Structure 1
Amino acid sequence: MTEDERLTEDEIKLYDRQIRLWGFEAQTRMRNSRILLINLTSIGVEIVKNLMLGGIGSLTICDSSIVLEQDLNVNFFINSNDVGKVKVESSFNKIKELNPRVELKYELRDYNSIELNDYSLIIATGLDLPQLIELNKKSRLLNIPLYACSTHGLYGYMFVDLITSETCKKYESNEKKEGMKLDSNTEIIKINKIIENDLNFDNCIIKCDFKPIDNLLIGDKFSHLSAKKLKKITPLLPILIALSCFKSQINKSIDEISISFNDLKLKSIDVCNSLKLPISILDDDDELIQQIANQAYCEFQPVSAILGGTISQEVINMLGKRELPINNYLILDGVNNEMPIFNL
C-alpha cells in the first residue's frame, strides 16, 4: 500500500467511530474505492448519502435526467427551485457538503459511454433486465463487482454479483472444516486456529462464487424443493423479475408510467416456467400483480431508505471482508416487512 492509499491522521480521527465498528482495513478499502452510481433515483439518493458519510474515496454519479415535481418527495438534495433543471447538477453541492474529502464527480453521458475500468465498484439503479445483462457482461469482463436495485412503491429488489469474494468469519473451534460447503456457492477454503480470551476459535476464509444476472432465468432453480418449501416462496419473486423484463420507466412522470396487469401476469407466468416454479404460486395473487403494476417505478422514500441502507451496508461488508455477502437476489416486501434472499 502506497502512502497515498493509507488513511491520514485526520481521516482516522474523522472516521474513528466507523473504524471501531467495522475495522481499520474496511475503512482503508472504502477510502480507496472508486464507485460509479448509475441513476440518482430515490434509492440512489440514499446510497449516495450513506457512502459519502461512510468515507468512500471517489464517487461518480451518472445521470442526465431532469428534476420532476415528484422528485421533491424523494430527493433531499433538491428543492422546488430545481424543477426542470438537471438533477445531478442541482444535487451536487449538497452531496459534496456531506463529506468534502470524497472525490465527487458526475457524468451526463450515457453510462454505456463511460470507461468502466476506471471504477472498482458499480451500483446501478432503475435499469431493466436487458440493460443489466449487458452491463453485467462488461463488469464481469473487467472483474468489477456489480450491485443492481430498483424500487416499486412498497416493494423492491437487490441483485449482487461480486463474481468471487473471500470473507473472513470466526466460528467456535472445530465447528467447521476446510473444504466444507456452506451452500452450493459457498465454501470454506482455509481455517486458522486462534485463541481469544482463553477460548479457541476457527478463523475461516470463506469463498463465495456468484452468478451473472443473465443466469436469473436459466436452469432449474426450485424443482428440487418439497411442496412445503415451495409454499414459502413469495410470489413477489417471479412478479418483480417479470417487471424488470419491461423497458425501464425511471425519470418519467408518474402519470406517464404504464404497465398493464395482463402483460405483467403473463410475464410472471413465463418467469415461473423459467425458474421451474409452479404457476400455482401466483394463484389468488391477481390483486398483488395489479398492485405492483400500479406501483411500478413509483418511488417511496421509506422503502428507498431501507433498501439503500441495506445496499450501503453490503458494500461496507464486502470491502471489510468480515461478513458473508448476500448471494444474490434480495426482495424487499414493505407490506409484510420481510426481506427474503434467493440464490438464483
Structure 2
Amino acid sequence: MIDMIEKEDNVISEEEAAQYDRQIRLWGLEAQKRLRGSRVLLVGLRGLGAEVAKNLILAGVKGLTLLDHEQVTEESRRAQFLIPVDADGQNQAQASLERAQFLNPMVEVKADTDQVETKSDDFFLQFDAVCLTGCSRDLMVRVDQLCASKNIKVFCGDIFGYHGYMFSDLGQEHHYVEEKAKVVKPSEQANDGPEVKKPKIDLNETTMVKKTASFCSLKEALEIDWTSDDSKARLKRTPPEYFLLQVLLKFRTDKGRNPDPCSFAEDSLLLLQIRDDVLEAMGVNPELLPDSFVSYCFSEMAPVCAVVGGVLGQEIVKALSQRDAPHRNFFFFDGLKGSGVVDYFGAK
C-alpha cells in the first residue's frame, strides 16, 4: 500500500501545476502532491545545508524550517551561496532565509535560531522528515530513535574537506513505487518454437510496481560488530569513508567542533590518535585509513557540498514522494577520486 501524506490543503493549484509541470511529468501528480503536503526540518545551514535547502525548495515541499544557532563567519560562508557576503556576525539560518525563500515563493520557509540540542522531543515530531547536518553523533542517534517511533523519516549528512556522506532511515516499512518496462507475455497460441514463448520487454510501455524497503537505525549502522564472521567477510567491500566518519564523529564529540584549518598541525595529530583508538576498539586495522587522510578532511569544499547535497536532497524528495527506490543506508563521496559509493548496513 502506498501511503498518502494527508494535509488540510494537499491540492495542487493551477499556479502550482504550472510551476511544477516538469516534475509532474517526470514523477507524476500523486508524487508531487505528497511533496506538497510535507514539512521538513533542516538542521545546519553551512554549505551542505544550503544545497539541501535549495533542492527541497525547488522540488516544492509545503514547508521548510531552517534551524541553526551559529553565526556567519568568513570561513562558514565560503561554500554557502544563500548567505550574502556582508552577513558576517548574523545568524546563519536568518541570513539564509531571504535567498532561500526567493527560490520558490510557494514554499513556506522559516528560520529558527535556537540550538538544536535544546529542542524538545515534540518539536521534531511536527515534521514529516528531519535532515541533520553538522550534528553530533549523540544528537543524531537521539533524533533517529525518536522519529523512528513516529514513522518520521530521518536523514543525516556532512562534509569533511574532500569527503562527504549521507545516511537515511526510512523505517522498517518504506513503501514506494518504481516504474518498470512492461513485460509482454507470449500468446498461448504461438507455436513457432521456444524463442517465441519467452516473455518480451516492451520499452515503449511501462507499469508502476509497488515495493517496500526496510532500513536499520543509525545506531545499528554505526555499531557494527566487525569481529563477527559476517562482518569480516564484508570488510573489504566497506568503503574506508565509513571508518573515516567514525573518526570524525569522535573528534566532534571530544572537541565540540570539526577539524579547524587554523589549528591544522594540532588537529592532525589528534585525528591520527583518534583513528588508532577508534579503529582498534572496533577490531579493525587502523591502516585502513592511511596517515594521509588528515590532509583532506578539513573545512567544507563547495563542489563536494554540491554533489552530496544533490544526492541528499534527491533522497529526501524520493522518500517524501514515495517514488523510486531509495538508497540504503549510506552514501559516501570521495572528492579525491571523484566518485561515490552506496553501502547498506542492515539491521541484525
TM-score range, shorter chain: 0.7 to 0.9
Q: Which residue of 2 aligns with 1:188?
A: none
Q: 2 CA distance for matches of 1:140 and 1:232?
A: 28
Superposed, 1:11-90 pairs within 5 Å as: 11-90=16-95
Q: Which residue of 2 aligns with 1:168?
A: 177
* Structure 2 residue identity aligned to 1:304: C
Residues 153, 300 of structure 1: 8 Å contact kept: yes
Q: 2 CA distance for matches of 1:85 and 1:198?
A: 54
Superposed, 1:287-306 pairs within 5 Å as: 287-288=292-293, 290-292=294-296, 295-296=297-298, 298-306=299-307
3-state SS of paired residue (1:168): strand
Does residue 113 (structure 1) correspond to residue 119 (structure 2)? The answer is yes
Which stretch of the first structure deviates more once superposed, 144-153 or 62-71? 62-71
Residues 80-123 of structure 1, C-alpha deviation per residue, up to 9 Å, x if partnerless? 32111122222211111111111111111222425112111000
Q: Which residue of 2 aligns with 1:323?
A: 324
3-state SS of paired residue (1:245): helix
* Structure 2 residue identity aligned to 1:113: K
Residues 42, 49 of structure 2: 8 Å contact kept: yes
**Number of residue pairs aligned between Structure 1 and Structure 2:** 318
Post-superposition offset of 1:335 = 0.6
Which stretch of the first structure deviates more once superposed, 128-137 or 9-18? 128-137
Post-superposition offset of 1:3 = 6.8
Residues 242-277 of structure 1, C-alpha deviation per residue, up to 9 Å, x if partnerless? 211232655997426787445434544555456665
Q: 2 CA distance for matches of 1:174 and 1:302?
A: 44
Post-superposition offset of 1:225 = 6.7
TM-score (norm 1): 0.81
Post-superposition offset of 1:58 = 0.3
Q: Which residue of 1 aligns with 2:3?
A: none
**Of 144, 150, 170, which aligns to 1:142?**
150
Post-superposition offset of 1:231 = 3.9
Q: 2 CA distance for matches of 1:252 and 1:286?
A: 15
Give the % identical residues.
27
Q: 2 CA distance for matches of 1:74 and 1:343?
A: 29
**Of 202, 212, 218, which aligns to 2:223?**
218
**Of 206, 211, 214, which aligns to 2:211?**
206
Does residue 333 (structure 1) correspond to residue 334 (structure 2)? The answer is yes
**Of 271, 296, 299, which aligns to 1:264?**
271
Residues 31, 321 of structure 2: 8 Å contact kept: yes
Does residue 97 (structure 1) correspond to residue 102 (structure 2)? The answer is yes
Residues 126, 250 of structure 1: 8 Å contact kept: no
Post-superposition offset of 1:156 = 0.8
Residues 219, 274 of structure 1: 8 Å contact kept: no
Does residue 281 (structure 1) correspond to residue 288 (structure 2)? The answer is yes
Superposed, 1:170-185 pairs within 5 Å as: 170=180, 173=183
Q: Which residue of 2 aligns with 1:158?
A: 166
Residues 238, 343 of structure 2: 8 Å contact kept: no
Post-superposition offset of 1:141 = 2.4
Does residue 312 (structure 1) correspond to residue 316 (structure 2)? The answer is no
Post-superposition offset of 1:200 = 8.9
Residues 9, 37 of structure 2: 8 Å contact kept: no
Superposed, 1:118-133 pairs within 5 Å as: 118-133=126-141
Q: Which residue of 1 aligns with 2:194?
A: none
3-state SS of paired residue (1:339): strand
3-state SS of paired residue (1:82): coil
Q: Which residue of 2 aligns with 1:255?
A: 262
| Larger radius of gyration between Structure 1 and Structure 2 | 2
Post-superposition offset of 1:172 = 6.0
Structure 1 spans left out of the alignment, 5+ residues: 176-194
Residues 331, 339 of structure 1: 8 Å contact kept: yes
Q: Which residue of 1 aligns with 2:189?
A: none
Distance 1:257 1:12, change over 3 A: farther
Distance 1:260 1:23, change over 3 A: same
Q: 2 CA distance for matches of 1:215 and 1:225?
A: 13
TM-score (norm 2): 0.81
Distance 1:118 1:300, change over 3 A: same
Distance 1:201 1:220, change over 3 A: farther
Q: 2 CA distance for matches of 1:49 and 1:21?
A: 19
